[in-house]
Amino acid sequence: MHLVVLLKRVLDPEIPQTAFSLDPERKQPHALRHPYVLSVFDGNALELALRLREAGTDVRVTALTFGPKAAEDVLRKALALTVDEAVHVLGEEEGLTAARKARVLAAAISRLPSPDLVLCGRQAADWEAGQMGGMLAEALGMPCLPFVSSLSPAAGGFEAVQQVESGQLVLRLPRPAVVTVTNDPGNVLRAARIKDVMAARGRGLTTIALQDLLPGTQGVEASVETLALRLPAPQRRAEICEGAGPAEAARLLARRLRELGAV
């Protein structure tokens, strides 16, 4: 069985607001000032793939990312977690729509041994659009099941638990398919062992140039333009409920909270 996991490199969501800044010329965050990490939701997908490998026999896991040279870091992390292969589509994704990124990733996946399952996070941890799973499935001609919290092998496919508003659904999913994985507590990405981190530094990556996947300019040129990007102005408002003593101040505070609909 072959599992392909999509990984994305994003700005660390834990950056303090006071430390976050924008480059007004590029209309992008200051890339050199802030750390990049693996999108936490893609980490959930990777953990689920690793658990599927542990539960079965003859299961291979391939990690795939699309981005600049620096995006190699997320593949090194996946290799430290003992994925079997890491593939890097080398190119700039800035200015490409989700649909074009899906075409790029679908073209890369078509070069790999036929996958039984493609896994990605329910959304990216930067823009949180949540579009990639469905668009990738369309490009690959596969069914897509979103918001999957767990998977187990079943005859001809997988048994999947899907999170819905009313609870959970247990569904039978055929092969091949695409799933988007939720941040269920059971899908928290494990920590790598020191010896595996050291071994990952010497392991090779498969690199594919973006132009080799989609020759010429069609599908590679920027398809959207950012006209403006700005941080929202902070809005601070405070009211002080003063009274003759603590009891009166508490009554005034409770009254004001009811007026505001807070209680």
Mean pLDDT for each 10-residue chunk of the chain (263 residues)? 95 78 77 79 96 89 95 95 96 82 94 95 83 94 95 91 91 95 93 94 92 63 73 76 86 90 82
For helices 132-140 and 98-109, give the axis angle rounded to 10 degrees: 50
pLDDT (0 to 100) of residue 32: 60
pLDDT (0 to 100) of residue 220: 55
Q: How far apart are CA 174 and CA 144, in angstroms?
A: 10
Q: How far apart are CA 188 and CA 70, in angstroms?
A: 24
* CA distance to 27, 31, 126, 187, 193, per residue, from 36 (Å): 18, 8, 11, 21, 21
- Which two three-digit tokens encode residue 213? 């996947």
pTM of the model: 0.80
**What is the gyration radius of the CA atoms in the chain, in angstroms?**
23
